[in-house]
Chain A
């Protein structure tokens, strides 16, 4: 399909073009194709077909040459990829290697990428939480970035729409700042997670420890069976790709769904150079693509273009889409394209032990990973000397402890007969960062990649607000741990670079005013309304939630709006 010579303009013309086949792009493709639009889905990397292209998925640990450890030579060659927690011997083939796709770090930034069909939806942490108006109203209330042009009520039905389709396991906890959703049964907390949850509830008014909500099928509905998926089998080998379709990935869910309609043309190995703007028509007419292998240049055309190339690459494509009308990049009349980039601050963890509940242990594996602590700082009013707040993951586990001190029969006996260790608890911070004009990406003036596209310069850093929040996380979590009777509490600075959180956002932010934002409330470029951005690049602020669910809901909402407008003839 993808390799056929397509020579006439007609054959290269579609109703819609979607750039990027990850979680958000594949959602656009699903919406368009389901409703009859001939859709071209462009992906710069190779194809990854569900199950067939998961080479490691059923391998046992002893079948890996290095038992999942990355070899020294690879660690030296790819330090950025190796700093990602998920880059291991069973998943390395789904990651971009450092030297394959260079970028310029004005400041240290770990850009973690997955260039293949499905993108990073094969590798994500699958944590999904809705935003509330406490998040959407943040910038306006606290005086940073610009006001979001949408509110929770705009997105709520689309959250439901997406959740029902992908399958989200979680409880409805009745917490205003973390709205309930269309959930499959939640994965219950374990004995010590429950204990912590009760303790927090007892000691604090507005703090909660809930079962983490995750994009796993705890109990399939008919729609999931129709997608060819079954109940999650608790393997927790998700980064290899799941043969059961137990979690949401574009590969397992939205792409095959779009393919079934017969309306999808999936084109891997298609590096998008730029979006073509027609000054006479006053809108975009298509995209310029460079074949990743042959370097052949070609053009594809459509009425509507969705840019879902992942946050920073979406910025790059728009910046590189220059014309007489837009010399600074498509839609960039105000010069703000690429600016106000933000991310999530993951630089703090805390751990401890618990001496109680020794009658219990865990059995099997929990795909949700344990508990989630929604943001409680500065929710109802400003109460600290830093802006916004943090959410946190929380988990308790009890593992086998092996005495390895001996030699010979003693050693053999000891390691084959491990003792059940104490309960250990662990939490990591997920903090909002404030978008700033000096956290930006831009095109390099000289250096280009192998496809003739300028390299991206990335200049992003932490600030004082981030450092204050880290301190607050340590103080509050320590207090909460102490109240729960945890001992041996240890805080740990996780000095990861920005980007390693893999939640980079912004640069093409939404807003009411074309003078201060790039996108309107329907994700259209203010100045070029048949181009939509619904991936992380559109984010006006970051809040603390894991963002993918919100991107998918935004995409479904915007795609359906675009189709309504096309029907009216206004696009």
Chain B
């Protein structure tokens, strides 16, 4: 593990929201260390754009800033069966091609509205790997988002120590 990816992994594992300095974003190889498969930097960026499209930055951070794509990769690498990892990788490869056919441009270059519309009709595809890739990505993105430090401390507060129970609280 090189220092850069080590630092990045550390920051990611710590669950922190962070804005990476430019040197990180422009680095040649910046993916987190994966054990069971590897992906190209292009595909990592694609995944980042995908999580950003799923959960865009508004007045609060979106997928990219919260590094949700790294969470997706971490979970696919560690928690999914080899068959699902295979579908995920194949589906990711096919996603770029499919997106270009549908959009007439590559996914990363498309405007947010076109990207959102594209993902909304992904369910209509007959490509099983593509659908599996998207289902895994979406599920893990939502999980990573709702379980991020940012959301759990700022938006939907997680209480470690509730200190109370009321079985008749007003709805």
* Chain A interface (Cβ < 8 Å from any Cβ of B): 58, 60-63, 65-67, 69-73, 187-191, 193-194, 233-235, 237, 358-367, 398, 404, 406-409, 411-412, 415-416, 420
Contact = CB atoms under 8 A, between A and B. Distances in A.
Contacts of B2: none
A193 B165 CA distance: 14
A361 B167 CA distance: 7
A69 B142 contact: no
Given A71-B78, A407-B119, A359 B164 contact: no
Interface string B149-169: 101100110101111111111
Among A187, A189, A193, A408, find the residue whose CB has the most chain B CB atoms closer than 10 A.
A408
Given A71-B79, A187-B165, 8 more contacts: A62-B147, A66-B74, A193-B167, A234-B163, A361-B171, A363-B165, A407-B53, A407-B54
Contact of A407 (B78, B120, B145, B170): B120
Contacts of B116: 407-409
B149 A72 contact: no
Interface in B48-87: 53-56, 58, 62, 74-75, 78-81
Q: Which of A62, A65, A191: most chain B CB closer than 10 A? A: A62
A61 B152 CA distance: 9
Interface string B12-25: 01110000000000
B171 A66 contact: no
B143 interface: yes
Nearest to A76: B81
A359 B112 contact: no
B60 to A, nearest CB: 8
A358 B54 contact: no
A153 B122 CA distance: 69
Contact of B165 (A62, A191, A364, A415): A364
A233 B116 CA distance: 43
Contacts of A363: 164-166, 169
Contacts of B110: none
B149 A62 contact: yes
Given A234-B162, A407-B53, A408-B53, A416 B167 contact: no
Contact of B169 (A60, A69, A71, A362): A362
Given A360-B170, A412-B58, A420-B171, A58 B160 contact: yes
Chain A to chain B: the 10 pairs with minimum beta-carbon distance, closest first = A190-B167, A62-B15, A363-B169, A364-B164, A408-B116, A364-B165, A364-B162, A71-B78, A363-B166, A407-B119
Nearest to B123: A405
Interface string B99-119: 000000000000010011001
Nearest to B166: A363
B35 to A, nearest CB: 9
A547 B117 CA distance: 57
B138 interface: yes
Contacts of B80: 72
Interface in B85-101: none
Given A62-B149, A69-B79, A407-B116, A359 B167 contact: no
Contacts of B138: 404
A415 B81 CA distance: 27
Given A71-B78, A187-B165, A60 B171 contact: no
B54 A66 contact: no
A271 B110 CA distance: 65
Contacts of A415: 142, 145-146
